[in-house]
Amino acid sequence: MKYLELCRTYEELEASPSRLKKTEILANFLKKTKNEKNKEIIYLAQGKILPDYDTREIGISSQLAIKALSRATGVSDKDIVRLWKKIGDLGRVAEQVASKKKQSSLFSKELTTEKVFENLKKLLTLEGKGTVDKKMGLISELLTSASGIEAKYLIRTLLQDLRIGVGEGVVRDSIVWACLNKENKEEFNLVQEAYDKTTDFALVFEKACRGKKALESVELIPGHPLKVMLAPKAESISDAFERVGKPAVFEYKYDGFRMLINKHDNEIKIFTRRLEQVTNQFPEVVSYIRKSIKGSSFILDSEAVGYNPKTKKYTPFQEISQRIKRKYDIERMGKELPVELNVFDILYYEGKSLLQKPFIERRKLLEKIIHPEKYKIVLAKQLITDNEKQAEKFYKQALEEGEEGVMIKALNAPYKPGARVGHMLKLKPASDELDLVIVKAEYGTGKRGGWLTSYTVACRKEGKLLEIGKVSTGLKEKSSEGASFEEMTKKLKPLITSEKGREVSVKPEIVIEVGYQDIQKSPSYSSGFALRFPRVKRIRPDRSVKDIATIEEIERESEKSWKWRVV
C-alpha cells in the first residue's frame, strides 16, 4: 500500500475532533487492508511499529530527526531549528521543508507502508559503533522520497508524537466497524477481551477479519503480558459487602507495584502493569520463582513490595520505584532495595487458561504450587469472612503494618483482564489524590534556575489529554532527600517536543500521583476543571497514560468536593 494513502488517513483523523468520525475514518482504512497479508499496518495507523506488549522504543531524538531532515532536504540544521521554535511542531516543519526540497535524489522512489515499516523496524536492531550514522541513513532514505505530508507523519512517528487522537477505544471500535457487526454490543466486547488477553491489535485484527468464532478462540499466550484486572473503589466495608456479596475475600492492598509473572519453556519474564518487561532488573525474583513455584508454564498476578534489608521493615513504593527502569548496578540495587513478591492470583497453568475459574479455586491452586518463604515469595495475606467487625479489624491491621488498605473480592468471580469490575474492589483511607500525566513544564528561577519545577498535568478522555492544572510543590530541592526537581528535570528533558520562553511541551509519559484539597470548575484548562492546592505525592514509573484518571473520574470527584463544601 502507498504510504501516502495512510498519511491522508492521518490527515482526516487529525482534522476530526469527533470520536465517532475518527472511528469511521479508521474503519474505512482498515477495510482496505483486510486482504493484506500483513496486518501489522494497524500498528502504523497508531504511529507505532510494535504491539503494545513490546515496549522497545525507536530511540530517535529531536536532534537526530533534525539532522536526518537536513540531509534529506538540503535545508540547514539552523533553519530547521528556527522554524521549529516558530511553529512548535517538528512534523509540520518537516512538511514545510520537504515540500520545498533543494535537492532531489536519483534513488528517490514512491514510499510504501511496507518500506516505511521495514526501515523503522531496522532502527530497533541497530547497536554498537556507527549506530547513529546507520540510523541517519535509514531515516534520510525515507525522507528523501517523502512528499510534504509523508515527511510530516514520518517525523511524528519517529518521535512517537503522531497527534491524531486515536486511542485504544477508537482502534477497537474501528476493528468492529471494519470486520464485524457494529450494531452488536457483544462483538465490541469480544474485540476488547481479545486485546486484553494478547495486547496485540494486529493479532486481534487478523482474527476479526476471519469472523466472530476466530475471535472467540483467542486465548492467553504464555510469554506475552496481558492487561491486568483493575479495581474500582469501595466507600466502606459495608459498601464492599453489598457489591461483592457475603462472604467475601479480603486481602492486603500492598504499597508496591504490580508484577505479572510469566513462565514458558523454562523462560521467566516479569512485566509491569504498563506491559514493560523488567526481568533483568529483578534477578532475585526470577530465582525465587524457579525455586519456590511448581510448574513448567504459568502466569501469576502479584505485587512486589520493598523492605529494609537491615530492619526487615516494609518500605513505601517510592523507595523501590527506581529499580523499575534501572539498567546498571542491578545486583547492588537488589541488595540495597530488595523486594518480597506477594502473589495473589493465577491466570494460566500448565497449558490451561484459568480466567473463567472461580477466584477461590485459583487461590487454592496457588496454595498447592507455591512454597512460601518470608521476604522472598509469599501468598497475599487473606481473610474470608461475612462479618463486618472482622473485616474492619483486618483492614486496620493492614494499615498498621504500613500497607495501603485492602482488596475485596467475590469468591466465585472470574478474572477479567483490563477491566475495572465490580467483583474486585479496593478500600483505603479517604484521601484526595489522582494519577495524572505531565504535558508541559516550566523552568524555575532563582535557586531553582535550570530545573523544570512547575508541571502542567492532564487527565484523559478517550484518545485525548485534557489539562487540569499546574503543580509545583511536593518535590525536594535535593536528590538526597527523595524525589526531587533535579530528578524530574532529568526525566522530562529528553521528552521535550517544543519550547516557548520558559515553558516546554513534553511527550506525555511521566505519570505522577497528585494530592489536592478539592476540585473546582475552571475555564482556564481544557478539562473544564482545576485542582486546588495540588502537590506531587510521588512519581509513578509503574503507570502509563492509559492508567491516569479519566474525565469521568474527575467529574465524580468534583461532585464530592462540591457536596463537601456545601455541607
CA distance 194 to 199: 8
| Burial zone of 399 (CB within 10 Å; 0-12 exposed, 13-18 middle, 19+ buried) | middle
Q: Kindly report the three-state secondary structure assignment for every residue of 301-325.
A: EEEEEEECCCCCCECCHHHHHHHCC
Residue 196 and residue 260 in contact, taking contact as beta carbons nearer than 8 Å = no
Angle between the N-to-C axes of helices 113-125 and 131-145, in degrees from 0 to 180, rounded to the nearest 10: 170
Report the amino acid identity of residue 120.
L
Please state the separation of Cα 447 from the chain's center in Å: 34
The dihedrals phi and psi of 170, each to the nearest 5 degrees, come to -65, -40
| Burial zone of 565 (CB within 10 Å; 0-12 exposed, 13-18 middle, 19+ buried) | exposed
CA distance 227 to 193: 10
CA distance 258 to 272: 6
- Beta strand pairing status for 382-385 and 424-427? unpaired
Q: Which of 520, 508, 525, 510 is nearest to 554 (CA)?
A: 520
CA distance 225 to 221: 8
Please state the separation of Cα 357 from the chain's center in Å: 28
- Give the DSSP H/E element, type plus range, for residue 300: strand 298-306
- Give the DSSP H/E element, type plus range, for residue 150: helix 148-158
* Residues marked as catalytic: 253
